[in-house]
Amino acid sequence: MYFYRGLPHGTLRFRPFHSMVTPAHLLASNEDQRLAALQAYQVSGDVPFFDEFVRLTGKLLRVPIALVSLVEADTVWFRGNSGLEEVPERVPRKESLCSVAILNEEATVFENLADQPCTLIDPTAVGDLGLRFYAGFPLQTATGEAIGTLCVIDRQPRILAPEESALMRELADVALLLLDLQGALGSTTAPASALWNDIYTAIAGSLTRLDTLAGLLQWEEAPDTPAALAYQASSREEAIVAAQALHQQITSAVQQLKRQS
């Protein structure tokens, strides 16, 4: 896991660029192969399950903002967006933390961007949105190319606990499976909606239990009472169960569609 806590005094800080060209320090070492791999996942179409998935991701990790991004040559495409609807669907790569997250194999974490801004991108883009916490996992293909990220964001500083990191890793795998699923579906929307409804139904029980646990937690006087800690532990376990069920359901859907094609 990569934690960014600011750079030493005197370290070069990159100034905003006036063009869409991505600066060299944001290019992956295998950039050409990465962009070639990305082409298979750049399927257009108004498919509902990306926004639904990131909304679910935010719920499981208890954060207000979650995104699935695809990092293109000079832009970042927010394929799924929950909680940050004020930003365009695509932004310059030099303005997005997702451009940094694809450079690392593990989670990229900024615990407090106000105190420790990311100097690899234009910091004003993040500051203007009031973002404080960012955690992003790269979406890596089977051959190792990082084509995008699953990220969670908060406007309050926070940490990413080890169990949350494990959950994000599971959900990042699910996000890549969803991209595979869209590739199998093409740009059609009706089958996608029906499939997502079936997938969502399979985890409905877990989501109900998570809502119940969240309600019980709110009744506790403090977050560190024995009961509150027990509710939090149960919530983490239930979130993992839901993520694993998603993984299984989407894998089955992709395999079924490939057999039919």
Q: 41-93, pLDDT tens digit by residue?
A: 876 666 667 888 999 899 889 999 999 999 999 999 999 999 998 999 999 99
pLDDT at residue 212 tops 90: no
CB-based contact 69:149 (threshold 8 Å)? yes
Average pLDDT value for the chain: 83
Per-residue pLDDT band for 140 (boundaries 50, 70, 90) equals very high
SS3 18: coil
4 in helix, strand or coil?
coil
Residue 261 pLDDT grade (very low, low, confident, very high; cuts 50, 70, 90)? low
Q: What is the pLDDT of residue 13?
A: 34
Cα–Cα–Cα angle for 169, 60, 217, rounded to 5 degrees: 135
pLDDT on residue 11: 31
pLDDT at 26: 87
> Cβ neighbours of residue 147 under 8 Å, at least 6 residues apart?
34, 37, 38, 41, 70, 71, 102, 139, 140, 141, 179
- Judged by average pLDDT, the poorest of 11-25, 106-120, 163-177 is 11-25
Domains in the chain, please, with CATH?
A: 2-260 (3.30.450.40)
**pLDDT greater at residue 57 or residue 217:** 57
Strands (DSSP E) along the chain, which ranges? 2-3, 65-71, 75-82, 90-92, 108-110, 133-140, 146-154
Band of pLDDT at residue 242, cut at 50, 70 and 90: confident
Q: Is the pLDDT of residue 7 over 50?
A: no
Count CB atoms within 10 A of the CB of residue 170. Answer: 17
Residues 6+ apart with CB under 8 A from 86: 129
Kindly tell me the number of DSSP H helices and DSSP E strands found in the chain. 8, 7
* Residue 66 vs residue 248, higher pLDDT: 66
DSSP per position, 205-256: HHHHHHHHHHHHHHTSSSTTSHHHHHHHHHHHHHHHHHHHHHHHHHHHHHHH
Closest CA to 159 of 111, 108, 229, 107: 111
Side-by-side strand order, sheet with 2-3 = 2-3, 108-110, 133-140, 146-154, 65-71, 75-82, 90-92
| Predicted confidence (pLDDT) per residue in 142-177, tens digit | 899 999 999 999 999 999 999 899 999 999 999 998
HEC letters along 197-218? HHHHHHCHHHHHHHHHHHHHHH
Give percent above pLDDT 90 in the chain: 41
Position 204 confidence tier, pLDDT thresholds 50, 70, 90 = confident
Q: Which amino acid appears at position 249 of this protein? A: Q
Indicate the pLDDT class of residue 186, thresholds 50, 70 and 90.
Answer: low
Question: Mean pLDDT, to the nearest integer, of 20-34?
Answer: 87
Identity of the residue numbered 208: T
State mean pLDDT over 14-19.
41
The pLDDT confidence band at residue 230, using thresholds 50, 70 and 90, is: confident
